[in-house]
Amino acid sequence: MKLSQHYTRTSVYATLTVLVIGAVIYYFAINYIGTQQLDRALQQQLTEAEEYIRSNDGNPQLYDLDRDHAVFVKTNRQLLLKRFFDTTYFNPKEQRSEAGRAVEDLVKQKDSNYKVVITVSRAGQKNLIELISIITLALLAGLLAVLFVINKYMLNGLWKPFQLTLNEIKQFNIADVNQFKGKPSKVDEFTELNGAIREMSLRVTHDYLNLKQFTENASHEMMTPLAVVTTKLDTLIQDETLSAEQLGQIAGIYSSVNKSSRLNQSLLLLAKLENKLVTEEEPISLETVIETKILQFQELIEKKELTIRHTLYPRQIVASKYLVDILLNNFFSNAIRHNLPGGFIIIDLNFDQLSIKNTGAANTLNGQQIFERFQKGKDSQGAGLGLTLVKNICQLYGYTIQYEYETGWHKFVVTF
Amino acid sequence: MKILVIEDEQGLRENITSYLNVDGNICESCSTLTMSLQKLSDYDYDCVLLDIGLPDGEGFGVLEYLSIKQKTEAVLIISARNSLDDKLKGLNIGADDYLTKPFHLAELKARLMAVYRRKAFNTSNKLVFNEISVDMQGRTVEINQTPIILTRKEYDMLLYFMANKGKVISKNAIAEHLWGDEMDMYDSFDFIYTHIKNLRRKILEVGGRDYLTSIYGMGYKFTD
């Protein structure tokens, strides 16, 4: 829900509540005042009637204040408490009953006591309340309408600078040279927001550059000692007095150094991928690259007596040549290494996807785990980063990668 | 061949210098940008080995200096940065090749020879070792004027050995030279054996001598 809707909702609820409570209080107040006034009028009539009866000896029943609105009943009671009460009033003009207000009292005429009841109509007061209610309702409706209009047009206008800022943030790319600018606004809050975002983007860009620097420095710091070890070994093996056993030890060191330098390269590449530091892109014809790869791996394929079949439709992608190379190297070396002797590799490339499947061990791999770092098979020689690199390269270009197992076939599908 | 090694890491510098100081090569070295510029202004070299990350500045300064002074030294960059930006930048401002650390000394020497020959003999040149003659341009090999047909891998291997003659080359170095990163070391050792066997056979068939010595468990040596 949009902020303006939230605001409208809250303001409407608040207004409605206040107005409803106000109307109720208003109603009771008017009712009370009206009743007070009627009671005063009744009191006056009662006083007049009493005076009349006291001064005239005639039958009080003959006294009619306003045509039958005063009723005298002879009673034996000596005491009757004066009281005002709501009752119905019969309007002789209109010939119908209306709400009325009455007073009851005891009047003495010589020896006899009379109970007198005077009734008046409340119709006037009711009309007044109705009128006031209508005006209140109309006010309420008007207020709501005004609130809606203000929220719809005024608030949206107010939030315009926010929308502009938001759009700019969405387009912000850390690798871009373009910095966040932010349109100047007359509203203090938005100016402050733009300022804060500008500062943040500067800081983030700075950190990003630092990180890039760090990646390169880390590479340098780790690769140089490895280079020293390698060249020292290269020098050491020139010694002709070395025994077979010593040479065997050196061979072991060679392969460990080689492993750690590859591991280091993979880790640095992963860091680069995760920080989106690889930005070189060029159009690449995948079908050509795949054909070249098949030739490159020919020796390995022949050694394992594998049969490779491929259906390649032209598909051009825009990506880093280096990364595509790593991607395919991983697919190929996996498909060869984990294949059975005399097995098959089938490669399909079309506009939507690239699929590579190979025959292999008759058990499915964990489709989630295989893409995790340092997850490797029993007979894998690598560090277990190959498929992680594959996944991250795919992510970088917005491709999806899937693993499927189907009765002896292991299949990797990249969907562009 | 006169070579200048510009590298700040002492261990690396010493090993490179001692490995290259054979066959009448003169190899000098220095560890900073300032010193290297001094040496380059005082002497002429055939080849320069250049580390990009120097303590007093980026090695690119050397390339700029060489291009301003119009000097013709062949430059091979050795860098720990495996970054395409650096590679392109180096090659654009006058480097002849780019080698990423860690590397084998044999690889370094082979690359160095290649850039030197390219620059000095303008690509049309023959590499001769006793009865073996390699035409670099046509990529053909003759033994006692009898041409032999080599596969690409065998040809690359022969050149690699000839560039490092008299040196023991480990199987790791050969594998990296022939296949780069694409293959696991473990897989490639068998192929090396096959290629060596074929190369040796082809040379012997036309009356060449066997210069290849196998060093048990370690690698091979191409020697008189």
Q: What angle do CA B70, B71, B73 make, to 5 degrees?
A: 145
Q: Which pLDDT value is given to residue B30? A: 92
- Mean pLDDT score, A197-211: 86
Identify the pLDDT of residue A334: 86
B178/B110 Cα distance (integer angstroms): 12
Regarding beta strands B47-51 and B2-6, do their DSSP bridges make them parallel or antiparallel, or are they unpaired?
parallel
Where is average pLDDT lowest: A117-121, A271-275, A355-359, A411-415?
A271-275
DSSP B204-220: HHTT----EEEETTTEE
| Residues of A whose CB is below 8 A from B173 | 234
* Mean pLDDT value across chain B: 87
pLDDT at B185: 58
Q: Does B5 have pLDDT greater than 90?
A: yes
Task: Determine the pLDDT at residue A184.
Answer: 81
Section A32-60 average pLDDT: 81
- Measure the CA angle with vertex B88, ends B82 and B90; round to 5°: 90
Q: What percent of chain A has pLDDT over 90?
A: 9
A371 and A334 Cβ atoms separated by less than 8 Å: no
Interface touch A247/B184, C-beta < 8 Å: no
Chain-chain contact of B11 with A254 (C-beta, under 8 angstroms): no
The answer to whether the CB of A415 falls within 8 A of the CB of A399 is yes
pTM (whole model) above 0.80: no
**C-beta atoms of B102 and A261 within 8 A:** yes
Helix (H, G, I), strand (E, B) or coil at A320: coil
Predicted pLDDT of residue B122? 61
Quote the CA–CA distance of A4 and A153 in Å, as a whole number: 10
pLDDT at A11: 84
Question: Pairing state of beta strands B219-222 and B168-170?
Answer: antiparallel
Q: What is the mean pLDDT of residues A35-56?
A: 84
Contact list, B82 vs chain A (CB under 8 Å): 219, 223, 265, 268
Dist CA A75 CA A87 (whole Å): 21
- Give the closest-approach CA distance of A266 to chain B in angstroms: 11
Per-residue confidence band for A64, with pLDDT thresholds at 50, 70 and 90: low
Question: What separation in angstroms does the CA of A205 have from each of A153, A175, A199, A216, A343?
Answer: 37, 8, 10, 17, 50
B102 and A257: CB-CB below 8 Å?
A: yes
Name the pLDDT band for B75 (thresholds 50, 70, 90).
very high
- Produce one character per residue of B25-46: b if its CB has 16 or more CB atoms within 10 Å, e if not: bebebbbebeebbebbeeeebb
Question: Looking at residue A175, what is its pLDDT?
Answer: 66
Instruction: Please give the distance of CA B165 from its chain centroid, rounded to a whole number.
Output: 12
A135 pLDDT band (50/70/90 cuts)? Answer: confident
Beta-bridge partner residues of B35: none
Of A178 and B78, the structure prediction assigns the larger pLDDT to B78
Lowest mean pLDDT among A26-30, A65-69, A341-345, B173-177: A65-69
pLDDT at position B161 is 92
Domain boundaries, chain A: 3-153, 171-277, 282-415
> Residue B163 above 70 pLDDT?
yes
Q: List pLDDT tens digits, range B92-119.
A: 888 889 998 889 999 999 999 888 888 7
Mean pLDDT of A258-271: 83
Q: In the structure, what pLDDT confidence band is assigned to residue A181 with cuts at 50, 70 and 90?
A: confident
Q: By C-alpha distance, which of A62, A78, A82 is closest to A70?
A: A62
- Which of A216, A234, A281 is the mutation pick for testing B, counting most B CBs within 10 A? A234
CATH class of A282-415: alpha beta
Contact B84 A322 (CB under 8 A): yes
Chain A contact for B186, CB < 8 A? yes
Q: Is A63 helix (H, G, I), strand (E, B) or coil?
A: coil
**Angle in degrees, CA B154, B158, B160, rounded to 5:** 115
Whether residue B124 is predicted with pLDDT greater than 70 in this model: the reply is: no
pLDDT tier, A268 (very low <50, low <70, confident <90, very high otherwise)? confident
* Least trusted range by pLDDT, from A60-69, A381-390, B153-162: A60-69
Distances (CA, A) of B139 to A125, A167, B106, B151, B156: 118, 59, 21, 10, 9
Cβ atoms of B144 and B131 within 8 Å: the answer is yes
The β-bridge relationship of strands B212-215 and B219-222 is antiparallel
Rg (CA), chain A: 49
SS3 A66: coil
The share of chain A scoring above pLDDT 70, in percent, equals 93
pLDDT of res. B183:
66
* Percent of chain B residues topping a pLDDT of 70: 94
Question: How many other β-carbons are positioned within 10 Å of the β-carbon of residue A72?
Answer: 20
Looking at chain B, the whole-number percentage of residues with pLDDT higher than 90 is 28
Confidence of residue B52 (pLDDT cuts 50, 70, 90): confident
Residue with tokens 């699929």: A355
pLDDT greater than 70 at residue B1: yes
Instruction: Chain B: give the shortest CA distance to residue A415, in Å.
Output: 24
Residue A171, both tokens: 């387009």
pLDDT at residue number B184? 66
pLDDT higher than threshold 60 for residue A68: no
- Distance between CA atoms of A27 and A129, rounded to whole angstroms? 7
**pLDDT (0 to 100) of residue A92:** 72
pLDDT tops 60 at residue B123: no
User: What mean pLDDT comes out for the span A370-387?
Assistant: 74
* Per-residue model confidence (pLDDT) at position A244: 87
Spell out which residues of chain B touch residue A322, defining contact as CB-CB under 8 Å. Answer: 84
Tokens representing A356 are: 């590579």
pLDDT in tens, A75-104: 777 777 888 888 888 777 777 788 888 888
CB contact under 8 A, B170 and A237: yes
Read off the tokens for A335: 């498909």
Checking if the pLDDT of A376 tops 90, the result is: no
Average pLDDT over residues A222-235: 90
Is the bond leading into B102 cis (omega within 30 degrees of zero)?
yes
pLDDT score for A377: 66
For residue B102, the chain A residue with the least C-alpha distance is A227
- Tokens in use for B66? 């060489």
When pLDDT is averaged across residues A1-25 and rounded to a whole number, the result is 84
| Domains of chain B with bracketed CATH | 2-120 (3.40.50.2300), 126-222 (1.10.10.10)
Average pLDDT over residues A290-318: 88
Q: Point out the least confidently predicted range of A354-363, A379-388, B89-98.
A: A379-388
- pLDDT tier for residue A65 given thresholds of 50, 70 and 90: low
